[in-house]
Structure 1
């Protein structure tokens, strides 16, 4: 599967539990929506993923990637220490200047 470089970096950062590298995949004004909450900017995104990594120890395995213009959807199997693991989630991405400007995680 051919993923854009920023998406590959995001998956690698997640699988290494590297919250700093994960946050660097986003624009300074990026927004993340996950589990009914919103996180704004790199620092909030770094804190969110750091807490999620500590709590769930999630690993991502990309299954499918579809891109149209500046929007994309990464479908990935996510496993970790949460009930129902593994689960297939969709990562709805908006890309800007080779970075992620928006991410919404849905089942």
Structure 2
């Protein structure tokens, strides 16, 4: 599947557990909603992804991507060290200036 460069980088940095590169996908004021919690700004997002990587060791396999205007939805199979693995999740992305400005992870 051909993905936009930003989304490819988002997936690749997740799958290699590279939190430094992962946060370069986000704007300075980005907001992430996941597991009932909100993480605002690159510092909080970096702490969130490092914690998630350590706890779940998840790998993302893109299944579908749709983009319209400044929004994108990535549907991906996520496997890792969590109950029910693998699971299909949707990553609802708000895009701004070629970066992710918001992310909401849903089932």
Coarse TM-score class (shorter-chain normalised)? over 0.9
Quick one: distance in 1 between partners of 2:43 and 2:10? Answer: 16
Quick one: distance in 2 between partners of 1:13 and 1:25? Answer: 9
Q: Secondary structure at the match of 1:42?
A: helix
* CA RMSD of superposed structures (Å): 0.6
Match of residue 33 from structure 1: 33
Unaligned runs of 5+ in 1: none
Quick one: distance in 1 between partners of 2:4 and 2:93? Answer: 12
1:65 correspondence with 2:27: no
Q: TM-score, normalised by structure 1?
A: 0.98
Q: TM-score, normalised by structure 2?
A: 0.98
